[in-house]
């Protein structure tokens, strides 16, 4: 990299690139313990643990490990984009390579002269720790991180774990993936924010679809405790929306001029608007399963009933409640004879009831 910069073939990066070879996990903890200020100076961590394996030996798969849902960010978007490109261009697909003679090439292959012509057996997987990247993702550190780990590997930590198990073609593919990500991160600026935010927003739609599928599964598989399953299903949706809002706004780390804030904020607001749609889908399915609305939804009707019939006068704060039914519930308040104000305890009950319902529905 330094040679290319000196020769004028690559311009100097906006940010430093650090290449670390460390004692696993311990070194990173020690760094942030001794130099806590370093956490504020690091933009992202892209980690390789086990890569470049000869995938013809055993059942080896290159796992591309995403950040945990609590740490989803712009980095997952970059990882998904470049990783998907490498997978799609280094494997044989029916529509792209079935026609014609042999050999059936990959569409844009990355091969090494001394490596194999195998496909790239790789897949994205949810968060998995047990390697250096987990330190960066710790709450006290808070640096976006993703990782590559090859598994299953029967030779790991054994005397048989030697260079004859390596495929230079797979090494090249993994190095391209990591190098392309580092290149983007080194030069990204405010001009890249609109595209990065849009891609993060679009990728978030896929994640929210998975959240909805999981939430519907909770409702289906917990029919013996419907109201509790409703809470859990709603939590999945709510946390998913929050995750995606954080992911979209994380792209502003590159917006040094502050020009993209309004557009990114609009995308985050649109995500919040999707929450009611997802919850409406949950409520429809819940009603189909149990022939009634969820308790929380019925409480919302009660709250609207109380608010619509509760009015306060200017003089002494008189409370007037008009009797009626809403969601199968009848507020237990009554008028005194002669049109006097309700008892103080009734007014207190109504105030507490409205507050409790409002808090439960937040």
pTM: predicted TM-score of the whole model, two decimal places: 0.79
Whether omega for the bond prior to residue 152 falls within 30 degrees of 0, making it cis, is: yes
Give the model confidence (pLDDT) of 66-89 as tens digits.
999 999 999 999 999 999 999 999
Same domain, 63 and 124: yes
CB neighbours of 323 closer than 8 A, spacing ≥ 6?
330, 331, 333
pLDDT, residue 283, reads: 94
Domain tally, the chain = 3
Same domain, 174 and 195: no
Same domain, 264 and 319: no
CB neighbours of 302 closer than 8 A, spacing ≥ 6?
326, 327, 329, 331, 357
Of 35-44, 167-176, 216-225, 300-309, where does mean pLDDT reach its minimum?
Answer: 300-309
- For residue 127, name the pLDDT band (cuts at 50, 70, 90): very high
Same domain, 88 and 152: yes
Is residue 271 scored above 90 in pLDDT? Answer: yes
- For residue 338, name the pLDDT band (cuts at 50, 70, 90): very low
Kindly report the number of other CB atoms within 10 A of residue 357's CB atom. Answer: 19
Please name the helix (run of DSSP H) or strand (run of DSSP E) that holds residue 215, with its range, or none.
helix 193-221
In three-state secondary structure terms, 63 is strand
- For residue 346, name the pLDDT band (cuts at 50, 70, 90): low
Give percent of the chain with pLDDT exceeding 90. Answer: 60
pLDDT, residue 100, reads: 59
- For residue 312, name the pLDDT band (cuts at 50, 70, 90): very low
Q: Which domain holds residue 252?
A: 190-292
**Domain end call among 155, 187, 219:** 187
Is residue 98 scored above 80 in pLDDT? Answer: no
Give the model confidence (pLDDT) of 47-57 as tens digits.
999 899 999 99
**Domain end call among 187, 203, 233:** 187
Give the model confidence (pLDDT) of 178-222 as tens digits.
999 999 999 999 999 999 999 999 999 999 999 999 999 999 998
Average pLDDT of span 328-355: 51
**Domain end call among 140, 158, 187:** 187
- For residue 2, name the pLDDT band (cuts at 50, 70, 90): confident
pLDDT, residue 106, reads: 77
In three-state secondary structure terms, 166 is strand
Same domain, 64 and 182: yes
Give the model confidence (pLDDT) of 7-18 as tens digits.
999 889 999 998
Same domain, 53 and 197: no
- For residue 347, name the pLDDT band (cuts at 50, 70, 90): low
Average pLDDT of span 259-279: 93
Q: At what angle do helices 74-89 and 226-249 cross, to 10 degrees?
A: 90
Kindly report the number of other CB atoms within 10 A of residue 60's CB atom. Answer: 21
Same domain, 90 and 178: yes
Is residue 243 scored above 90 in pLDDT? Answer: yes
DSSP states of 119-148:
---EEEE----SSTHHHHTSTTT---EEEE
Is residue 336 scored above 50 in pLDDT? Answer: no
Structure tokens at 27: 């070194």
Same domain, 286 and 307: no
Of 56-65, 142-151, 290-299, 341-350, where does mean pLDDT reach its minimum?
Answer: 341-350
Same domain, 266 and 308: no
Long-range contacts, stretch 260-264, CB < 8 angstroms, 24+ apart: 260/190, 260/193, 260/194, 260/197, 263/194, 263/197, 264/193, 264/197
pLDDT, residue 222, reads: 86
Q: What is the mean pLDDT of the chain?
A: 84
Q: What's the CATH code of the domain at 28? A: 3.40.630.10
Please name the helix (run of DSSP H) or strand (run of DSSP E) that holds residue 336, with its range, or none.
none
Same domain, 196 and 150: no
Angle formed at CA 269 by CA 138 and CA 74, multiple of 5 degrees? 35
Is residue 97 scored above 50 in pLDDT? Answer: yes
pLDDT, residue 355, reads: 67
Same domain, 205 and 85: no
Same domain, 62 and 177: yes
Give percent of the chain with pLDDT exceeding 70. Answer: 78
- For residue 356, name the pLDDT band (cuts at 50, 70, 90): low
pLDDT, residue 257, reads: 83
pLDDT, residue 303, reads: 58
Please name the helix (run of DSSP H) or strand (run of DSSP E) that holds residue 171, with its range, or none.
helix 168-187
pLDDT, residue 335, reads: 44
Is residue 266 scored above 80 in pLDDT? Answer: yes
């Amino acid at each position: 990299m330094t040679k290319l910069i000196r020769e004028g073939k690559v311009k100097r990066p906006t940010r430093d690139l650090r290449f670390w070879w460390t004692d696993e996990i311990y070194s990173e903890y020690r760094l942030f313990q001794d130099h806590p200020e370093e956490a504020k100076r690091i933009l992202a961590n892209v980690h390789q643990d086990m890569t470049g394996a000869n995938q013809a030996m055993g059942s080896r798969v290159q796992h591309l490990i995403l950040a945990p849902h609590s740490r989803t960010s712009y980095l997952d978007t970059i990882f998904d984009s470049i990783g998907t490109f490498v997978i799609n261009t280094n494997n044989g697909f029916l529509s792209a390579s079935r026609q014609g003679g042999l050999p059936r090439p990959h569409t844009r292959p990355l091969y090494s002269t001394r490596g194999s012509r195998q496909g790239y057996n790789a897949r994205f997987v949810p968060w998995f720790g047990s390697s250096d990247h987990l330190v960066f993702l710790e709450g006290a550190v808070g640096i976006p991180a993703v990782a590559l780990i090859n598994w299953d590997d029967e030779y790991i930590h054994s005397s048989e774990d030697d260079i004859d198990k390596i495929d230079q073609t797979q090494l090249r593919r993994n190095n391209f993936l990591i190098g392309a990500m580092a290149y983007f991160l080194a030069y990204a600026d405010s001009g890249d924010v609109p595209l990065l935010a849009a891609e993060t927003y679009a990728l978030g739609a896929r994640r929210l679809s998975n959240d909805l599928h999981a939430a519907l599964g909770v409702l289906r598989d917990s029919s013996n405790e419907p109201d509790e399953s409703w809470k859990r299903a709603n939590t999945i949706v709510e946390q998913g929306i929050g995750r995606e809002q954080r992911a979209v706004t994380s792209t502003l780390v590159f917006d040094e001029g502050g020009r993209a804030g309004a557009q990114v904020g609009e995308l985050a607001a649109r995500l919040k608007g999707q929450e009611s749609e997802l919850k409406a889908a949950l409520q429809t399915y819940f009603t189909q399963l149990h022939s009634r609305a969820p308790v929380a939804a019925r409480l919302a009707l009660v709250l609207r009933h109380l608010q619509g019939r509760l009015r306060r006068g200017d003089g002494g704060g008189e409370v007037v409640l008009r009797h009626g039914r809403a969601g199968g519930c009848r507020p237990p308040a009554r008028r005194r004879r002669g049109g006097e104000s309700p008892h103080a305890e009734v007014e207190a009950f109504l105030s507490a009831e409205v507050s409790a319902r409002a808090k439960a529905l937040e």
